Structure 1
């Protein structure tokens, strides 16, 4: 594995594991399968790193009004949502939630920092990690050689870095810039849940809380956008009107696809080159599931689902 050490969108993400679209109270393709596979994968990873990075902190969606409560209850009768939308509403301490909140069953978080630190430590100790930038011009596809490395297959998992990849730069991924902030709150909020209204709020430590993130397809420079930070501050103030202090702000660029499904597949000319991209805002949840799909395609010749195959853009 080659990595130059830059922090990806996944590494600065909230790590939310969520089977529900919380604006419309709907679910999405293979949500249950993705959650099940992720939890099994984390148990397997624990055998290598000694830790399970799953945080049992279910999402509590704060309702805007009584109409949202009624819509939630109506949707909770749907066969696709019955196992996700809890019918019992809760009042949350420490935040403004006049119309209560609904719990998303099976939702959780990933300890993002711990996960990547533990996984990279394991890979480096086994000699599987090369900490350097990958130089495309030194790749000999015909002889399957990169510098001093011989390979059978090569897989590119680069997020928005794929735009600089001469072999896969034409895949239709679009950057979506997301901001999040770290804040100090003047009084604590529940530690064992993830709160959601406009954005997600949860504790990082005894003092710091995560709040985010935004979605921006227009302002795509690598700088902190102060209007986005202000947007987050206002959103947090709606549910937390007490004193707060913003201590840090971060950005990441999600690789998104128009049909909101990943892009997996083999290069049309170089049969030993593969791509795994377009995981969007759900990369923490869907990455493991579709990684197995691509593995089965490469190693077992199992056809990729048409919905995620690179071939769907031909």
Structure 2
């Protein structure tokens, strides 16, 4: 029988950032990965402290940005890689009104650190009214992040590549097959709907598509361009463009309407030829109040959930992993805005 402090079920941002908290604190654990293509693993990796439709920010934006940089520096110490890509977002303005709104908002106390007052004219793409740079924005090397952490866990024999079978969980004995555990954490995204212990949590699937394209004229800099969706380079030949938001078409197939939406969106500001090479989609677990769902099962006190990260999975997953760890290990109460109990 193998004895561990934690079993983690799931392999997205919530799972891996919580695993990092356990590594930092010398806790033993295993991660169960079904190796399906999750929303986390096909995400854009955008690190953005600003809501770019309204030029507003969100709860704890600065704290989340700072904590993510600190965490990625810590992860670098054992993976040998820092997965932060310094490629700021440039938001293309639609008209002069947006320019003036940006300047007005940039004087607000909670936005002046983020909204650069000096506008930029971008080459190659159409931006008649210039663009605004989001300071402190960046990208995560998504592929590198998951590959690096999975390789690290595999070497330590902490990654189990198989589907977690709920019926094999012995709650009374705190065992799962040949593993004895103290705590078990479910970080399953939309797969939580099949979980008999947490299937009732109010997460709503939001389907997102993105495309990988070849551009006939390359962008001169490694920036992230935003107009409707995000465009940025992912290797020497391909660019990422996406992603869409859809709460209606939830089948597990590519939606041609979403692909058309992306194609038309790119044509609006990229006036050159391009070809669509790949199409991908995933289901983000979103919550009505735009806050994660974190907490303990009301009957089984060694059983926890970490879900509902939404479109800000990197920032939410990183920042609130510490809140969850402190809640379990140090008995520090969760903030009421993220606590599971707000729905019960």
* Mapped pair 1:229 → 2:227: no
* Mapped pair 1:175 → 2:205: yes
User: How far is the alpha carbon of 1:143 from its aligned partner?
Assistant: 1.1
Alignment equivalent of 2:191, drawn from 138, 161, 175: 161
| Matched residue SS, 2:118 | strand
Alignment of 1:121-270 (within 5 A): 121-270=151-300
Residue matched to 2:150: 120
| Matched residue SS, 2:196 | coil
Q: In 1, distance between residues paired with 2:307 and 2:202? A: 10
Residue matched to 1:51: 81
| Matched residue SS, 1:9 | coil
| Structure 1 contact 191–202 (Cα < 8 Å) conserved | no
| Matched residue SS, 2:164 | coil
Alignment of 1:83-94 (within 5 A): 83-94=113-124
User: How far is the alpha carbon of 1:28 from its aligned partner?
Assistant: 0.3
Residue matched to 1:64: 94
Deviations, residues 11-59 of structure 1 (Å, cap 9, x unaligned): 0000000000000000000000001000100000001100000000000
Residue matched to 2:327: 297
Q: In 2, distance between residues paired with 1:128 and 1:221? A: 33
| Structure 1 contact 191–203 (Cα < 8 Å) conserved | no
Gaps spanning 5+ residues in structure 2: where?
Answer: 1-30
| Structure 1 contact 136–166 (Cα < 8 Å) conserved | yes
| Structure 1 contact 59–103 (Cα < 8 Å) conserved | yes
- TM-score normalized by structure 1? 0.99
| Structure 1 contact 14–112 (Cα < 8 Å) conserved | yes
Residue matched to 1:307: 337
Deviations, residues 149-189 of structure 1 (Å, cap 9, x unaligned): 00000000000010000000000000000000000000011
Would you identify which runs of 4 or more consecutive aligned residues in structure 1 move more than 6 Å? none
User: How far is the alpha carbon of 1:292 from its aligned partner?
Assistant: 0.4
Equivalent residues, number: 314
Gaps spanning 5+ residues in structure 1: where?
Answer: none
User: How far is the alpha carbon of 1:7 from its aligned partner?
Assistant: 1.8
Residue matched to 1:18: 48
